[in-house]
Chains A and B, each alone.
Chain A
C-alpha cells in the first residue's frame, strides 16, 4: 500500500527545482572554476588550478576576505550566543513586562539586513550621526570615532551591527528551550544543596545544548554568507579592510571575471557541504531521539 499511496512524483517537483537551481549550478561551478570564463570573451579555456592559485596567493586580497569572513562568523556567534543566553535567562526570570521585552528584543531580527545597514550608516556617521552625538552628549568626546572609515573600527562596527540584529533571535530560541525545562530538576538540585551557579552549569546548560547546537549551526551557515551589511556599511573598505567572501564574489560578478568568482564560491561550496553534512547529522539525530 505504501508504494501506491505515497508516490515518488510528490517528491520529485521540489526535488527537481532544488537540483536544477542549486545543485546543478554548484556542480557546474566546480568545472568552471577551472577555466578562464568571463563575460567578455566567447571562448572558455581550461586553466587548471590557476584561479585557486590566485585566490590563495598572498599578493591578492582574497585570503583577507576569507580570513575576515571566518573572524566575522566566529566572533558574532560567540558574542550573540553569550548575550542571547543572558537575555533568555533574564527574560525567563521574574521580569516585569516580559512579553514586551521579548517583542522588542526580537524585532531587529525581522528587519531586512540591508535596511539595518542603511540605518547604521546614519548612526555611525562621524559628524552628525547618533552614536557620536550621544557620546558627546554624555561627555565622552574622546570616545567618538570614524566608525566606518577608521581601519581600526570598521570591521568591529560591522560585527556590532550584526550582534544588534541577531542576539534577540538566539534569545528567542533559547527561551523556548528554557521554558521546556521542568522545574522539578531545579527543586531536586536545591534539596541536594546546589547553588545558583551549579544549577546553571549542571542543569540549564546541558539541557540547552540541543538548542545551542542549532543556533550555532544556523549562525555559522549565515555568517559565512554575510553580504548585505558589509555591502551597505563599508563596501569592503576602507581599502580592503572589511572585504568578505560575498562582497568579493559580487565584485567579480560586476567585473565580469566569472572564473575567479566561481572559484571563490566553489571554495565556499566545499566548506559548506562539509558543514552542512555535520549539521544535518546533528539535526536528524535530534529528531530521532
Chain B
C-alpha cells in the first residue's frame, strides 16, 4: 500500500513539473506585462512594485492594435465561415454519392493537407485575380488553406448522418439546395463548430501569408503587428509582453471555451468509433 502511495506521488510530481515547464513562459509574459520598462529589463518572476495597466493602452496606441485586431478578426471569421460553407457542400456530395470520380476528387482535395503553397507563382495568380495586397485576397488564401482538412472532418461526420433524412426530404419535395441547406446543414452543427474553431485558430495564428502578400500596415493582422512591434520596441519587454497578451487572449479564450470541439476535430481520423 505504501508502495502504491510512493508511486502515485512520484507520478504526480513528474506531471506537475512538466506542467510547470509548460506554463512558465506564459506566466512570465503575464507578470512582465504589468511591470515598468525598467523592471522588465530582466524578464523574471519578481512581482511589479505597482501594476502598470497603462502598458496595455500604450501598446494599443503605439502598435495600432485596434486596426490589426479588427483585421485579424475579419480575416479569421469570414474565411472560416466561407470555409465551412464550401467544405460542407463539397463533403456532403462526395460522401453521399461515392462514384469513382468523386472518390478521386476527395483524395485529390485531401492532398491539399500536404501540398506547400508556392509563394512565387501565387503572386501571378493573385495578380490575375486582382487579389494581391487586398484584404479579400488574404481571406481567400486563408480559406483555401483550411478547406482540405475541413472537408476531411466534415466528410467523416456526414457519413454518420442517416440517409433516411435525405429520402424524407426528397419525398417532401425538396430540391438539392433545399435538402442541403434546410435539412442536412443544420445537422452538421457539431462538426461545423469544430471546423470553425480550428480554422479560426489556425488563421489567427498564421504569419507567412500576410508577410508575403500584405505590404501596407493598415491591412496587417495581429501576428504581423506584434512582430513589427517587437522589432521596434525590443528594449521594452513590458510593452512587448502586453502586446503578446492582447494577441493570444482571443485564441486562449476560444480554446478554453471550445476545448471539447478542438479535441474532437484533432482526434478525428485517429480514434475509431
Contacts and interface: CB of A to CB of B under 8 A. Distances in A.
A262 B120 contact: yes
Contact of B120 (A13, A32, A116): A32
Contacts of B21: 164
A94 B8 contact: yes
Given A10-B92, A122-B237, A214-B269, A115 B248 contact: yes
A216 B92 CA distance: 28
A278 to B, nearest CB: 9
A101 B119 contact: no
Contacts of B144: 17-18, 21-22
B90 A176 contact: no
Interface stretch (A57-65, A148-156, A224-232): A224-232
A90 B90 contact: no
A152 to B, nearest CB: 22
A119 B25 contact: yes
A34 interface: no
Nearest to A279: B114
B219 to A, nearest CB: 17
Interface stretch (A70-78, A183-191, A197-205, A267-275): A267-275
A180 B272 contact: yes
A249 B117 CA distance: 11
Contacts of B63: none
Interface in A92-141: 93-96, 100-101, 103-108, 110-116, 118-120, 122-123, 125, 128-130, 133
A14 B86 contact: yes
Contacts of A176: 263, 267, 270-271
Interface string B245-260: 0011001101110010
A289 B272 contact: yes
Contacts of B119: 249, 253, 261, 265
A222 B22 CA distance: 21
Contacts of A173: 266-267, 270
A118 B179 CA distance: 49
Contacts of B227: 114, 118, 232
B43 A130 contact: yes
A180 B112 CA distance: 29
Contacts of B14: 90
A81 B62 CA distance: 41
Nearest to A259: B120
A5 B176 contact: yes
B207 A118 contact: no
A277 B270 CA distance: 17
Given A112-B207, A123-B28, A173-B270, A18 B118 contact: no
B147 A17 contact: yes
Interface string A1-15: 111111110110111
B107 interface: yes
Nearest to A208: B270
A108 B22 contact: yes
Determine the main DSSP class of B at the interface with A: helix
Chain A contact patch, size range: 35 or more
Given A14-B147, A261-B120, A22 B115 contact: yes
Interface in A15-44: 15, 17-18, 20-26, 28-29, 32, 37
Contacts of A213: 270
Nearest to A4: B176
Nearest to B224: A114
Contact of B94 (A11, A13, A103, A287): A11
A253 B212 contact: yes
A87 interface: yes
B161 interface: no
Given A2-B96, A112-B204, A133-B44, A107 B23 contact: yes
Interface of B: 8, 11-12, 14-16, 18-19, 21-26, 28-29, 41-44, 86-87, 89-90, 92-94, 96-97, 102, 105, 107, 109-122, 124-125, 129, 140-141, 143-144, 147-148, 151-152, 156, 166, 170, 176, 179-180, 201, 204-208, 211-212, 223, 226-227, 230, 237, 240, 244, 247-248, 251-252, 254-256, 259, 262-263, 266-267, 269-273
Given A21-B117, A25-B121, 13 more contacts: A26-B118, A87-B18, A101-B15, A104-B23, A110-B255, A129-B43, A164-B25, A210-B270, A246-B208, A265-B118, A277-B111, A280-B113, A283-B269
11 contacts: A1-B170, A11-B102, A21-B141, A26-B116, A111-B251, A112-B206, A119-B29, A176-B267, A214-B269, A228-B208, A272-B114
Interface of A: 1-8, 10-11, 13-15, 17-18, 20-26, 28-29, 32, 37, 83, 87, 90-91, 93-96, 100-101, 103-108, 110-116, 118-120, 122-123, 125, 128-130, 133, 164, 168-169, 172-173, 176-177, 180, 210-211, 213-215, 221, 224-225, 227-228, 232, 246, 249-250, 253, 258, 261-262, 265-266, 268-269, 272-273, 275-277, 279-280, 283-284, 286-287, 289
The 6 closest A-B pairs by CB, nearest first: A276-B114, A112-B205, A214-B270, A128-B42, A6-B97, A14-B90
